[in-house]
Chain A
Amino acid sequence: GAVVSQHPSWVICKSGTSVKIECRSLDFQATTMFWYRQFPKQSLMLMATSNEGSKATYEQGVEKDKFLINHASLTLSTLTVTSAHPEDSSFYICSASTGTQYFGPGTRLTVL
């Protein structure tokens, strides 16, 4: 139980394009989902908290217009990286919470 999926698992895109990453809780519903960014050999950095039916809450320093988050249902949240640039290349991980956070497998984004 408590399985979270992410799609795609990896994506390569050109600079200036937008990329959408999906996060789904497969066997449970989650009012709250979280989006993290992880740089190589570093810990997870929380980007935003996503609540179903309301606007996401972004952490300080995270550009909300660049990282668009939509939490359309209790099982789906999406992160769209708009006008991606090479510095946005990273490993993005989502989690879905029932009081305990369950993590997806991550999405590797490479911007050329």
Chain B
Amino acid sequence: AQSVTQPDIHITVSEGASLELRCNYSYGATPYLFWYVQSPGQGLQLLLKYFSGDTLVQGIKGFEAEFKRSQSSFNLRKPSVHWSDAAEYFCAVGAGVGNEKLTFGTGTRLTIIP
């Protein structure tokens, strides 16, 4: 069965600092990997996804993520955070088209301090 671990429940960074959110997955085949962001009381917005090809994926809002098969990781990064990045971030793994059910991590809450 597939699973996702987000080891950091809560992260606080200063505005303008760099950010890395960790995500480790467990899946028997090549995974389909996603990062979503959720603002309070809102649905989820897709930041980026990895299906195949280049292991460094660029997303919206200046985010990127790198797929590392050897480490079973798909960490999310941003070089300089903005106050508006404060939100909950979810990593998810899926089996792909034809079996589109996702397994979500428990989320990482990001707080930005001025």
Chain A residues within CB distance 8 Å of chain B: 4, 6, 32, 34, 41-44, 46, 49, 91, 93, 95, 97, 99-106, 108
Residue in contact with B44 in the complex, picked from A93, A97, A99, A108, CB distance below 8 Å: A93
Q: Which B residues, 93 to 114, have Cβ-Cβ distances below 8 Å to chain A?
A: 96-97, 100-102, 104-107, 109
Q: List 12 A-B contacts (CB under 8 A).
A: A4-B43, A6-B43, A34-B101, A42-B107, A43-B104, A44-B44, A44-B104, A49-B101, A99-B97, A99-B100, A101-B100, A103-B36
Q: Which residues of A have CB within 8 Å of B46?
A: 100-103
In the docked arrangement, what's the CA distance between A95 and B104, Å? 14
Q: Which residues of B have CB within 8 Å of A44?
A: 44, 90, 104
B67 CB-CB contact with A under 8 Å: no
Residue in contact with A97 in the complex, picked from B36, B100, B104, B109, CB distance below 8 Å: B100
Chain B residues within CB distance 8 Å of chain A: 34, 36, 41-46, 49, 90, 96-97, 100-102, 104-107, 109
- Contact present for A103 and B106 (CB under 8 Å): no
In the docked arrangement, what's the CA distance between A99 and B46, Å? 13
Chain A at the B interface: SS class: strand
Residue in contact with A43 in the complex, picked from B41, B43, B96, B105, CB distance below 8 Å: B105
Closest 8 CB pairs of A and B: A99-B97, A103-B44, A103-B43, A105-B43, A97-B100, A106-B43, A43-B106, A43-B104
B100 to chain A, nearest CB (A): 5
- Contact present for A43 and B34 (CB under 8 Å): no
Q: Which residues of B have CB within 8 Å of A104?
A: 43
In the docked arrangement, what's the CA distance between A32 and B102, Å? 12
In the docked arrangement, what's the CA distance between A91 and B42, Å? 9
A91 to chain B, nearest CB (A): 8
